[in-house]
Every structure is written in structure tokens, then in C-alpha cells.
Structure 1
Amino acid sequence: MPTKIAFIGFGGVGQTLAELLSKQREDLSEKYGLNYEVVAVSDVMKGAVYQPKGLNINRLLETVKETGNVEKYPDEEGLIKGWDSFDTINKSNANVIVEVTFTDVKTGQPAIDHCRAAFERGKSVITTNKGPVALAYRELAQLAEEKGAFWGFEGTVMSGTPALRMPITTLIGNNIYEIKGILNGTTNYILTEMEKGKSYEKALKKAQELGYAEADPTSDVEGYDARYKAAILSNYIMEAPLAAEDIPCEGISSMTEEQVQEALKNKKKWRLIARVKKDGKEVTASVKPELLDADDPLAGVTGATNAILYECDLAGPIMLTGAGAGLVETGYSLLIDLIHFGKGGQ
């Protein structure tokens, strides 16, 4: 029986996943036994459409690109338009909710309520929104387990780079006693540009011009984005319920070109490091600029690249690098979770 998918939110990431599902339908079926139908889309800006028998993905994407409104999808028997997100979750025949709304990371809303509503009805969720995992992990994970639902959130830390699945599956059997990483590409890009001689202001401006930094870069440059990711790593990998607001956090906005150049003279580099450490049963976390020796593996990570290093008792230090953002990479992270859902949540 095919997996029935509803998109809650249909911006760039949701549309990218839909494109991947359209292009790779045959491969996903043959390689992974994943058969699916997109039955619904509900987006606060683009409208809503529901077809219990399944929507034509290419027609859906064409409609959005041409009109910006999914409700312009051609009328056909059984088609329903205009449902809000909760109607779509509660009333549709979807068994997987792809939650990719624009969400306030400070409150986790509306994504937390979307996840809760889906789990209460026994529906599985895959999401790239950090809020539900950083702010409500224990409650939502328990609810999903009670209702037999799958919850996938691979893309919340390093987009399509498997920073969450790898330590849980591939590194199984290790005690991971410390995780440290460069989890924000914007700040790493800025620091790399400052190493080339730019001021903080000029480096930030270039990051904004290239689309790495938002018009309001506060979440990135003050370390808040990395702090939410540290909370996710703490809750999921270390099984310690640290709240994001309880993690000490310092950004890079006060750093100067002189500081960065002085470090280089001393064969060191500044990097914004998110760190989660286990000492016995106690788990602590922090986000702050750290002065690394030039031969530290994280010091060699430049530009907008992300990297994460797991300190393992058996395997030793294992480092993973890759893109921490991007539409294709983030869409792929959702596909990873969808494939694992199809394999029974393994």
C-alpha cells in the first residue's frame, strides 16, 4: 500500500522534496520499496489542496510555479481546496506529514503543534524545523512512540549531511562522550573571510550578498542557530534534556579583524564551536568562539561548510563534514527520513 504524504508548508524545501519524489519515483520503488502518493498540500501563503486518490506531482509543481497558488490546481472529482494545516493533518488520509512550515525558532510554533496533532492521530512526521526537536523533544518523542508513529528530523542539524543518523546507527556500540562542531555555515564563512583580511562588517555584507546570511543575521551571528542545534544533539544523541535557553551562548558579532589576524600569526584560528560534553551522567553544552590550533581538524573547515566531530570511546574521533544548508541538501534530508520510514523506521 503506498505511503500517503501531506505537505504542511510548500516553500522551497517542500517543493524540492516534491521534485525529488517525482524524478526518483522508479529508483525509490526498485531500490527501497518506497511507493507513495502526495495527497495534500497546505501552505499559509499558497493555499491548500487535497486529493485522496493522489495529486499529480508535476502538475502540482507547475501550478505553484506558474500561479503561486496550489488552489489553481485543475478541478477534478474528489478534489478539496481550502483546508488549513490542522484540517489537512486531521482529515486527510495522509499517513506521513512533511512539516516544513516557516516556524518561529524561539517558540517552535506552529511546527510543535503540527507534530503534536499528527502524532495524536498516529500519523508520522518528517521535518527540518529545529523548534520541535530543540524545544519539545521529550514530549513529542514519547507521544510518537505511544502512538506508533515515526519521527524523522535528520535535516535539523546539518541538512542533508547525516549528523544525527550516523552516530545512532553507524557508530552504534560506542560511548560518544563529546560532540563538537561548526554547525552554522554563515558564521564560518564570515570568519574565513576575516582571515583573508576583511572586517567583520564587510564579511557579513558579502555573506548577505551571497545568500548565506539573512537581512537580519542575528540568529546566526549571535550563535542562536548553533545553540538550538546543540540542544538537539544533547536531547537526541546524549539523551539529556537540555533546554536551548539554558545553554551558554556567545556569537561572533564582537570579533575584530585584528583578533582574527593575531590568531593566524600564532598559528591558530577562531571558529564558532557548539560543544556537548558528557561527564558521567552529567551533560553540559556551550556555543562560543574558540581559538583552535591550526592542526585541529575543525580549524581546517573553511567557508560555509559545516563539520561535526564525535569523540568515541572505541572508534576514536570521527569527523563528518558537508553542507549545512541548501534547498537540494535539505530536501534530500527529508528524503532520507522518508526512506527510513518506508523501511519501518530503521
Structure 2
Amino acid sequence: MAKPLRVALLGCGVVGSAVARQLTDDAADLAARVGAPLELIGVAVRDVTKPRPESGVPPELFTTDAESLVSNADLVVELMGGLEPARTLLLRAIEHGAAVITANKALLGADGPRLYAAADARNVDLSFEASVAGAIPLLRPLRESLAGDDVQRVMGIVNGTTNYILDKMDRTGAALPDVLAEAQELGYAEADPTADVEGHDAQAKAAILASLAFHTRVSSDDVHCEGIMGITDADIRDARKIGCVVKLLAICERTPDGVSARVHPTLVPRSHPLASVHDAFNAVFLETALAGELMFYGKGAGAAPTASAVLGDLVQAGRHRVVGGHGPRESAYAELPVLPIARTQTSYFIRLDVLDRPGVLARVANVFGAHDVSIESMRQGVRRSEEGLAILQLVTNQAADESLVATVEELRKLDDVHEVSSVLRVEGM
């Protein structure tokens, strides 16, 4: 067996602790798979005095000197998150010839190409399976198994917190603030849930997925992002009435004009596989030219699932150190234009409170026609006779997003329209 490979761990939160523990508990098996022992030489933390018994790491291995630690390692595992100092430390590790394993979707979404270029220049692995969908084997199939296929679409639930919230609202009728508070109590949501509920977590993951799927550099800034905080129990009820559920989806598409990536609440038919994804689970649906439709499903977050993905990357990178070889490099040869949301083709569900009088339907329909948006279906909800109002629920056919936005803006100005009370995109109908 080859000499031990030195492993540096950056961060020792719940995931870092799980990784450190497995490095000890499964040391013999991991060594056999790698072909060399994996020796944990240090764990970088902010406070070395804080007790961390759950990690199983000897206290003397904790250090605040992360720069020296990464400069002396063969393999660096980054689980601290955020842009800095993670970016600086990973670039330093790569400069010193270490292979890097990271779960940092925010950093990859913001500055992935810089890391890829640095790793390629030093001929070292940069692995990040844990950055999207936790334990679900998703990125490696995109980078390797489907490397000879043409991926046309990636659509999925990549944030467990928001899926738990929307699923609970659908199944119980509870309001979003109440379910969010419950999710925080159960540990599904952070004390500050902004990154999840505003869609930023899914936004970074969509950038990674689009970059891999379409061989084009897509950053988080290229991804249109809307969160779930505007979703009401009325939206959930309306979705149910038309046979749909509301999901926060990351949607990445390749079109003749380029590629698009977006994150937003979406109505999905209950017959679609993504509609049956409950609780905090993740699922990603792929459409490819040769393989057809594929779906990846499983636990997308949590200490153990994420540690599983990290350790998988660690074993692969270690094996390359022992027997030679290299993981997949960045593939951005296509250099396709990244389209703004305005040019994306989509469908909408729109709920209107309109005056209950003759001619309203025709005038509403004229607004849609003026913007070349056709109506796929329309139903009238319960009349609010005491207020002289009626509820209209419309689903459009696909049209450019900018046309749909213009339609909604003009509807809001129409004298017959009391309120545009809900606007949601639709997929799969």
C-alpha cells in the first residue's frame, strides 16, 4: 500500500464532523478503496477551544492556521462555505498541488471558472459532487456518464427546505409563515432562512447544473431567481383545483438561441414525477437526446448524505493520486449565449379579481391577444357578489416571458380588473 495521503479539512460543522468521523470509523475500508491510508493532518476552525466531541477529532488537530494547513496537504476538503476565505484557501491549496473537494455551491456559482482554470493549470482534481443535491449522484453522471449525449433540459427540486414548506402547505393547508417556523424547529430551515426561501441556494445550484449540462459558463448572476415568500395558501388551493402542486424549481434549458437558467415557484401537474417529491427530498429530472428522460431522487441535504458525496469525491481524488489519472476537467467549449428571462418561453397561471359585468371576458382576452399570448384554459371561480367581483383563473400557452410580463402589467391597468391576485409560471401542462 502506498504512503498515507495527507487530508486537510476546512470547517467542522455538522457535515465536517460527519466527514471527520467517517475518516476514522471507516479508515481501513477507505484505505483499501484508495490504495493508501487517508491521514487527517488537521481541521481548520475559527475557535480551537470549542468542544467538538461529535467529530472524533483529537483536540491537537484543530487549528486556526488554515493557510499553513492547506499548504501541506495532498487532499483538501472545504466545508466552511461562503466566498471568503474559502476561495483564497482553495486557490492556495491548488497552487501547492493539492486536490480539492468542496461542497461550496455559492463559490462555484460565483467564481467556478477561476477555480477550474487553477486546477487545470496545476493538473489536480477539483471535485464538487456534494455542492448540488447532497448524496444524490447527479453531477458525476452529468460530467461523465452523459458526456457523449446532448442534455436538453434540467428541471428539479434542489432545495429541501422550500420543498418541505410547500409540500406541507399542500398537504395541510397551513400558511407559509407557520410552516417555516415549524421547519426551523425541526432543523430543516436555518435560523436565518433567507438563502433558502429567497431562492439563492437553488440559484447557485442551477448555475452549476447549467454549466455542466450545456458546456457553457453560467454564473449565479445569469440565473433568474424568485423565492417562495410570496406564495399564499390561496395559491396552493388554486393549484389543487387545476390538478397541480407548487414547487420551487431550478430549470435549465438549451434552445436554438442559447441556454437559460431560472429559479422560481412553479405549478407542476400532479401527474409529473416531481409532484410526488415530498418533505425535504430533492429530485432532478433530465431530458437528453439519446438517453431520453432520467430522474435522480434522494436526500439532498443533511450531514450524512452530504458526507457521503464528499467521501465519494475524496476516494476518487485519492485514487488518482495513487494510481494516476485525473477527474473530469471543465468543459465550456460550447460558449453558448446565456439568455435573459425575458426571452424564455413559458406558461403562466394568472388569477384575476374582475368586475362582475358584461364584456369583461372579451376585454381581458383582448389584452392577451394584443401581446400574442394565447389562453389555454380559463375557469371562473366563486363570485364575490357582495363586492360586485368575480374570480377568473387563466392558464396561458407558452409565450416569451417578456410578453407575459407585459400582459400582466396591462391587465393591472384595466378598469375591469380589481386585482391581479396571483401570477405563477407553469411547467409540464
TM-score normalised by structure 2 residue count:
0.70
Partner of 2:68: 87
Supply the distance in 2 between the matched residues of 1:24 and 1:144 (Cα, whole angstroms).
28
Give the aligned residue type for 1:320: F
Supply the distance in 2 between the matched residues of 1:343 and 1:162 (Cα, whole angstroms).
19
Q: Percent identity?
A: 35
Matched, 1:128 2:128: no
Shift of 1:281: 6.7
Supply the distance in 1 between the matched residues of 2:125 and 2:158 (Cα, whole angstroms).
25
Partner of 2:311: 335
Q: Does the 8 A contact of 1:47 with 1:82 survive in 2? A: no
Closer, same or farther: CA 246–172 of 1 in aligned 2, 3 Å:
closer
Out of 40, 43, 53, the residue aligned to residue 41 of structure 1 is 43
1:183-262 aligned within 5 A = 183-195=158-170, 196-262=172-238
Closer, same or farther: CA 298–235 of 1 in aligned 2, 3 Å:
same
Give deviations 1:303-330, integer Å, cap 9, x for gaps: 1100001111111110001111111111
Give the aligned residue type for 1:18: A
Shift of 1:28: 2.2
Give the aligned residue type for 2:212: Y
Aligned residues: 319
Out of 230, 236, 239, the residue aligned to residue 263 of structure 1 is 239
Supply the distance in 2 between the matched residues of 1:87 and 1:339 (Cα, whole angstroms).
23
Closer, same or farther: CA 3–280 of 1 in aligned 2, 3 Å:
farther
Partner of 2:284: 308
Partner of 1:58: none
Give deviations 1:207-231, integer Å, cap 9, x for gaps: 1111111122111111111001001
1:38-117 aligned within 5 A = 38-46=40-48, 64-65=52-53, 72-73=59-60, 84-90=65-71, 92=72, 94-101=73-80, 103-104=81-82, 108-117=83-92
Partner of 2:112: 137
Query: Structure 1 stretches (4+) deviating beyond 6 angstroms?
Result: 68-71
Partner of 2:346: none
The worse-fitting range, judged by mean Cα deviation, of 274-283 and 185-194 is: 274-283
Q: Does the 8 A contact of 2:75 with 2:318 survive in 1? A: no
Closer, same or farther: CA 31–98 of 1 in aligned 2, 3 Å:
closer
Partner of 2:129: 154
Shift of 1:44: 1.2
Q: Does the 8 A contact of 2:30 with 2:38 survive in 1? A: no
Shift of 1:343: 2.8
Supply the distance in 1 between the matched residues of 2:119 and 2:236 (Cα, whole angstroms).
46
Choose 1 or 2 for highest CA Rg: 2
Supply the distance in 2 between the matched residues of 1:151 and 1:47 (Cα, whole angstroms).
31
Q: What SS is found at the alignment partner of 1:298?
A: helix
Where does structure 1 lack aligned partners over 5 or more consecutive residues? 49-62, 74-78
Give deviations 1:71-108, integer Å, cap 9, x for gaps: 843xxxxx8x8551112222x2x11111111x33xxx2
Closer, same or farther: CA 64–190 of 1 in aligned 2, 3 Å:
closer
Matched, 1:173 2:148: yes
Partner of 2:157: 182
Supply the distance in 1 between the matched residues of 2:257 and 2:35 (Cα, whole angstroms).
41
Q: What SS is found at the alignment partner of 1:174?
A: coil
TM-score normalised by structure 1 residue count:
0.87
RMSD: 2.2
Give deviations 1:54-83, integer Å, cap 9, x for gaps: xxxxxxxxx7319x997843xxxxx8x855
Supply the distance in 2 between the matched residues of 1:210 and 1:11 (Cα, whole angstroms).
18
**Higher RCO (CA-CA < 8 Å; seq separation 6+):** 1
Q: Does the 8 A contact of 2:134 with 2:299 survive in 1? A: yes
Give the aligned residue type for 1:65: P
Give the aligned residue type for 1:10: C
Give the aligned residue type for 1:11: G
Supply the distance in 2 between the matched residues of 1:314 and 1:119 (Cα, whole angstroms).
36
